[in-house]
Amino acid sequence: MIERRTFLFTAGAATAVAAGLGSFVIPALANDPDGPFKLAPLPYDPAALEPHIDAATMGIHHGKHHAAYVKNLNTALAGKTELASLPLETLLTKLNDVPEAIRTTVRNNGGGHANHTMFWQIMGAPGGPGPDGDLKAAIDRDFGGMEKLQETFNAAGGKVFGSGWVFVTVDKDGKLALEPRPNQDTPLMEGKRVLFGNDVWEHAYYLKYQNKRADYLKAWWNVANWKVIADRYAAAKAGTLTI
Ligand code: MN
């Protein structure tokens, strides 16, 4: 039934895009009722990031890719009550305690769940204000300004071979660092905190940008949500930032 509904959703999305409707609703069918990990709805319409990230990419990325990470994580942890009850950011620091038979699955899908949960939050409709205050001062201090941050971040994104992420981490003193990772790895696995990051898996951009990852990396800054990122920065310094 889920397979059929997923197919119908995808077909519906394609029809909506073809008809120029511009937006469509993702049905809330991706949650695994058995949990414990859940897929939260996108915090905005899938078309909200247009034209920089298209609605079809957002719908598939959230409703299919992220949903699969959640489902696979829950499946792997079925019957592992202790591990399954941990907060995700804690689970990711305890991969060595995860039975070897499911360790890679938990690493990939737990990392994927955490990375995408962060990713949806730190984006928003284009045209929002840029960084200011403490956060802008930290960007100036640790990267030499926004332009330099974008340049080094995009260069790191271009260098990720295959699939991965570019993250900016933040420590409790508010210090920022550029930290790319392969696959669905995340600095959370080392107990660090992620301020924001960009997904450079092909599924994040291929429908619109095809092989032109550099164009996606450049356009992506238009949808960075600096209000949310500033809140995350303050939370990191207060020791309350989780994923
Ligand atoms: Mn992704």
Is 113 in the same domain as 25?
yes
Is 103 in the same domain as 158?
no
Q: State the distance from the centre of ligand 1 to the C-alpha of 47, rounded, in angstroms.
A: 17
Q: State the distance from the centre of ligand 1 to the C-alpha of 202, rounded, in angstroms.
A: 8
Is 81 in the same domain as 184?
no
Task: Read off the CATH number of the domain in which 70 is found.
Answer: 1.10.287.990
Is 45 in the same domain as 94?
yes
Yes or no: say if 95 and 175 are a contact pair by the CB < 8 Å rule: no
Instruction: Residue 201: give the domain boundaries.
Output: 133-238
Task: Read off the CATH number of the domain in which 213 is found.
Answer: 3.55.40.20
Is 114 in the same domain as 173?
no
Q: State the distance from the centre of ligand 1 to the C-alpha of 204, rounded, in angstroms.
A: 5
pLDDT category at 117 given cuts 50, 70, 90 is very high
> In sequence order, which ranges of 44-145 are alpha helices (DSSP H)?
55-60, 67-76, 81-84, 88-91, 100-121, 133-143
Q: State the distance from the centre of ligand 1 to the C-alpha of 165, rounded, in angstroms.
A: 9
Within a domain: residue 164? Answer: yes
pLDDT tens digit sequence for 39-97 = 999 999 999 999 999 999 999 999 999 999 999 999 999 999 999 999 999 999 999 99
Is 26 in the same domain as 103?
yes
Q: State the distance from the centre of ligand 1 to the C-alpha of 141, rounded, in angstroms.
A: 30
What residues have CB less than 8 Å from 15, skipping those under 6 apart? Answer: none
Is 115 in the same domain as 140?
no
Q: State the distance from the centre of ligand 1 to the C-alpha of 106, rounded, in angstroms.
A: 16
**CA torsion angle for 117, 150, 210, 69 (degrees, to 10)?**
-20
Q: State the distance from the centre of ligand 1 to the C-alpha of 213, rounded, in angstroms.
A: 14
d(CA 107, CA 99): 11
pLDDT of 194 > 60? The answer is: yes
Within a domain: residue 243? Answer: no
Total of domains in the chain: 2
| Cα 96 to the center of its chain, rounded Å | 24
> What's the pLDDT at 35?
81
Q: Model's pTM, two decimal places?
A: 0.87
Is 109 in the same domain as 173?
no
Is 95 in the same domain as 150?
no
Q: State the distance from the centre of ligand 1 to the C-alpha of 62, rounded, in angstroms.
A: 8
Q: State the distance from the centre of ligand 1 to the C-alpha of 200, rounded, in angstroms.
A: 7
Within a domain: residue 128? Answer: no
